[in-house]
Amino acid sequence: MGTTPPPTVTSLLRAWSDGDETALKQLVPLVEAELRRLARGYMRRERQGHTLQATALVNEVFLRLTDAGGIRWQDRAHFLGIASRLMRRVLVDYARSRGYRKRGGEAQRVTLDDTLLVTPEPAVDVMALDRALDVFARIDARKSRVVELRFFGGLSVEETAEVLHVSVDTIKRDWRVAKLWLLRELKGEHAHLRATAPDDA
């Protein structure tokens, strides 16, 4: 009685990119563990004055997880696109699990600035951002994708342009507009036609 070898990360990635959502379930813990491990190294290097681009982190995760030689991505852009999407899933799942762990299972939003110090940027509720991106995707799919690639994937403007096959200027414009839309959405300042009125019972 032989055992089936576990599916490789590469095959899982490919299955997922082909639309197999169950592959993601197996993929996420692998990626998260690797991310953790790398993050430790990341911190050490930070202290030594090295800077580490998040892109490098993404790349590194995938290079470690996938047998570099064996993977046949259509092109580099395809890989970055898939990687960014997976990073989004991993990071959002992480934030969500963290939120539920905090206080006896009671949901609590995790923001990225729950700290003594001020953050260099306004708080980002990762889960809310994730939801907002889904909404935005229905209005402007490309811009939503730009944010996924830039923020979750950590891609540069140039890499993002490469993935989406548009110009660098377009990405810059998209990025700028998308941030405004998301900021507003996250604050709940909808200018939608459907307003709500208070209880008038």
Partner 1 sequence: MTPERWPDVERILLVALTRDADEREAFVAEVCANDAALRREVESLLRQESEAAGFLSAPAAAVIGSAMNNGTFIGRHVGPYTIQEQLGAGGMGQVYRARDTKLNRDVAIKILPPVYTRDTERLARFEREARMLAALNHPHIGAIYGLEHADDTPALVLELIEGPTLAERLTNGPLPITEALGIAIQIAEALEAAHARGIVHRDLKPANIKITAAGTAKLIDFGLAKGLGAGGIDERSAAVIGGTRSGMSRPGALLGTAAYMSPEQAKGEPVDARTDLFSLGAVLYEMVTGRPAFAGAESTVTRESIVHGTPSSPRQVNPRLPRTLDRIICRLLMKDRDMRYQAASEVAVELKRLKHEIEARKSTKDNLSNRRRHATAGAALILAIGIAAWMWPRPMTTQAPAGGDYTQVTHLADSATSPSLSPDGRLMTFIRGESTFEGLGQIYLKALPDGEPVQLTDDSLKKMSPIFSPDGSQIAYTTVGDNFAWDTWVVPARGGKPRLWFANASGLSWIDERQVLFSEITTGVHMKVVAADDQRRRVRSIYAPEPERAMAHRSYSSPDGKWVLIVEMDQAAWQPCRLVPLDGQSTGRKVGPDGQCTSAAWSPDGSWMYFSSNSTGSFHIWRQRFPDGKPEQITAGPDEEEGIALAPDGRSLLTSIGTRHSSIWLRDPRGEREISREGYAFVPGFPDSGISQPFSPDGRSLVYLVRQGAVRFAGPGERAGELWITDLVTARSESVVPGVRVIGYEISRDGKQVVFAALDEHGTSHIWLAPLDRRFPPRQLAALEADSPHFGADGDILCRGTDRGSNFIYRLKNDRPPEKAVARAILFFLGVSPDGTWLIARVPDPGKSLHQTTLAFSTLGGPVPVCETCEVDWTPNAKSLIVRLTSAGERTSSRTFVIPLRPGHTLPLLPADGIRSEADLAGLPISLALDGFVYPGDTPSLYAFVRRTVVRNIYRVPLS
Residues 121 to 160 in contact with partner 1, rule: CB under 8 A: 121-122, 124, 126, 138-140, 147, 150-154
**Nearer residue to partner 1 within complex by CB, 17 or 181:** 181
Count residues binding partner 1 (CB under 8 A).
73
Contact partners, residue 24, CB within 8 Å, separation at least 6: 12, 16, 86, 89
Bridge partners of 111? 125
Bridge partners of 103? 106
Distances (CA, A) of 145 to 14, 101, 183: 20, 30, 16
For residue 115, the one-letter residue type is: T
Write down the least CB distance from residue 51 to partner 1, Å: 8
CB-neighbour burial class of residue 194 (10 A; exposed 0-12, middle 13-18, buried 19+): exposed
Write down the least CB distance from residue 44 to partner 1, Å: 8
Write down the least CB distance from residue 12 to partner 1, Å: 20
104 binds partner 1 (CB under 8 A): no
68 binds partner 1 (CB under 8 A): no
Residue from 15, 96, 113, 170 in contact with partner 1 (CB under 8 A): 113
88 binds partner 1 (CB under 8 A): yes
Query: In the structure encoding, which two tokens stand for residue 80, read together?
Result: 């970055």
Give, as ranges, the residues between 1 and 30 that touch partner 1 (CB under 8 A): none
Give, as ranges, the residues between 35 and 54 that touch partner 1 (CB under 8 A): 35-36, 38-40, 42-44, 46-47, 49, 51-52, 54
199 binds partner 1 (CB under 8 A): yes
CB-neighbour burial class of residue 36 (10 A; exposed 0-12, middle 13-18, buried 19+): exposed
Q: SS3 for 37?
A: helix
Residue from 55, 96, 166, 170 in contact with partner 1 (CB under 8 A): 55
98 binds partner 1 (CB under 8 A): yes
H runs (alpha helix) in 140-167: 141-147, 157-164
**Nearer residue to partner 1 within complex by CB, 21 or 121:** 121
